[in-house]
Structure 1
Amino acid sequence: MPQTIHVPVLEVNDLSVAFTRYDRGLRQSTVEVIRNLHLTVGRGELLAVVGSSGSGKSLLAHAILGILPDNAAVSGTLRYEGEPLTPARQEALRGKEIALVPQSVNFLDPLMRVGDQVRSSVREGDADAEVRRIFDRYRLAPGTERRFPFQLSGGMARRVLVSTATVGGPRLVIADEPTPGLDPAAVRETLSRFRELADEGCAVLLITHDIESVLPFADNVAVFYAGTTVETAPAGDFSGDGARLRHPYSRALWQALPQNGFSPIPGVQPHPSALPPGCLFAPRCAAAGTDCSRERPEMRELRGGTVRCIHAT
């Protein structure tokens, strides 16, 4: 997909999220699970966020929406349409201009007909007409609105979730792992719907583990590791042997796919309470030197993307 210039809708700068908890003996401790995270998604852009479990992808979504638990402390800057995204503004925009497509179809109310669930998200106009319009757009047959969630297939339930999130005309859609459990055809169909939203001017932030499936639909990709962004790159850079990628972890993710050699890297992602000094990826990086353990690298621009690595060229 060709790289295009996008007007920023969401800007995340130096975001950190920490949780206060009580250990054995009622000792209080604080664990920082997201640190110095940077990300931008623009109007008309589909940005895929990838990385292993525990890297902070879903927490980012919750921070943007303002739905973190009470024991979370957030620092850094969130801006929406150029203005600070304060807690009051998050509450006002959530479910309206900023919409979430959640990870699980269990978010659908099992005791409520799906048409009523979508109808409750209509902001203006004839609610019944809007439900028929959005169901027709997502190829949900007439009569679907009278069904309960248990009467839907997995693919239909996913489309109802997307319908609920988008019927109100949001400007930013956050999709948190929208394709698990779907067959390949349903995955392509689901991702094509998000691509359509972006093509119509919406900003789409799509969180996924499935790099391979999302690449044909994404404009750019943000790679997360141990609670921070290590690279953002045009989707087209994920090709061949990964030589166009900037960060060694991004290349490792790409090369770990079966069609790219299925080459694992040693070690595991560090726990937030036991982070290494310096570069977070250094203990697993074959190219790491002594300078990599001195201080954590800053995000910098490189070859049309950004990277957090002092050796990237």
Structure 2
Amino acid sequence: MPILEVENLSVSFKKYTRGFKQTKSTVITSLDVTVEAGEILAVVGASGSGKSLLAHAILGILPSNAITSGVIKYGGEELTPARQSVLSGKELALIPQSVNYLDPLMRVGSQVRTSVKKENAIAAQREVFQRYHLNAGVEKMYPFQLSGGMARRTLLATAMVSGARVIIADEPTPGLDSVVIVEALNHLKESAVNGCAVMLITHDIESALQVADRIAVFYAGTTVEISPVEHFNGNGEQLRHPYSKALWRALPQNDFIPIKGSQPRPSQLPSGCLFAPRCEMATPDCEQERPAMRNLRNGMVRCIHAT
């Protein structure tokens, strides 16, 4: 049984336009994803595809004007707002994208120690700082005294000592040097080996390929494909969705062929398949309705033409 399940998740935001007219902008639609204990699921896709919003929905930290539907389950039980408030930071840990999550009034060593549940807090904090190449004096610093890379490493350290059963790492590696990137990815892998479920949200497919077991591809606020990591190779012939294949071919180390057009804005989503306006395989049937997610070749895909 997956430890974390997201079923048919949709997220919209209420906002007011000129004349105080209320509108609703839907940014995530019919999103499905699961993560099992001992697994790293990498979530990839362009900016604005809903990756970070998914993380915030799981942790229950969406803005107050957010409207959600669908079901999120943890350990087979629905993750209600009450459960989110109890489990966040304990069994569910987030490595946030923004360093602003650090408390500006608290020394960073003390912040990391508050996340330690079972071990000696001081020893655990100092060990993880050493692992991420943060010298002994850093624990006494305040966030404003840290460089961007040091602050990001502190956020990594906070999640890694938490003992959480689910770790959601939202773009954890930007701004880090290659040595620390390797260490961070190895730490995530170790967490999975020890039974943790890891969701790695990243733009960096190459990093994802080093540690992930499966890769979920997001486009315009929904999941278009979930594939075993070994299918991301060669010319992408084992991939299922046209967008996944195009994304793979667009990488510099592959064909370096750009994808024509751009991802639609939430207010301009097509009525049928969200990728149809950019897809070379699109037919009139693709414009009729949004395809459902279906099982195909040991993966999942949202495309009527995938074989």
Q: Compute the TM-score of the two structures, normalised by the length of structure 2.
A: 0.95
Question: Deviations 1:73-121 (Å, cap 9, x if unpaired)?
Answer: 1110100011110000000001110011011233323443221111122
Which of 15, 24, 28 is the aligned partner of 1:30? 24
Specify the alignment match of 1:217 in structure 2.
211
Unaligned runs of 5+ in 2: none
- C-alpha spacing 1:262/1:190, structure 2 compared with 1 (3 Å): same
Q: Is the 8 A contact 1:48 1:221 kept in 2?
A: yes
1:196 pairs with 2:199: no
1:57 pairs with 2:51: yes
The letter for the 2-side match of 1:222 is: A
Q: Is the 8 A contact 1:155 1:186 kept in 2?
A: no
Which of 242, 262, 266 is the aligned partner of 2:236? 242
User: Cα offset for 1:136?
Assistant: 4.4
Which of 271, 279, 292 is the aligned partner of 2:265? 271
Which of 170, 173, 181 is the aligned partner of 2:175? 181
The letter for the 1-side match of 2:212 is: A
| C-alpha distance in 2 between matches for 1:241 and 1:157 | 38
The Cα RMSD (Å) is 1.7
Q: Secondary structure at the match of 1:258?
A: coil
The letter for the 1-side match of 2:270 is: P
Q: Secondary structure at the match of 1:25?
A: coil
1:12 pairs with 2:11: no
Sequence identity (%): 64
Specify the alignment match of 2:249 in structure 1.
255
1:98 pairs with 2:92: yes
1:71 pairs with 2:65: yes
| C-alpha distance in 1 between matches for 2:83 and 2:63 | 17
Q: Secondary structure at the match of 2:48?
A: coil
- C-alpha spacing 1:131/1:187, structure 2 compared with 1 (3 Å): closer
| C-alpha distance in 2 between matches for 1:208 and 1:51 | 8
The letter for the 1-side match of 2:98 is: S
Specify the alignment match of 1:4 in structure 2.
none
User: Cα offset for 1:277?
Assistant: 1.6
Question: Deviations 1:252-295 (Å, cap 9, x if unpaired)?
Answer: 11111111111012111111111112111000000111111111
Specify the alignment match of 1:3 in structure 2.
none
The letter for the 1-side match of 2:189 is: R
Q: Is the 8 A contact 1:21 1:30 kept in 2?
A: yes
Alignment length, in residue pairs? 307
User: Cα offset for 1:27?
Assistant: 0.8
User: Cα offset for 1:138?
Assistant: 4.2
Which of 284, 287, 312 is the aligned partner of 2:281? 287
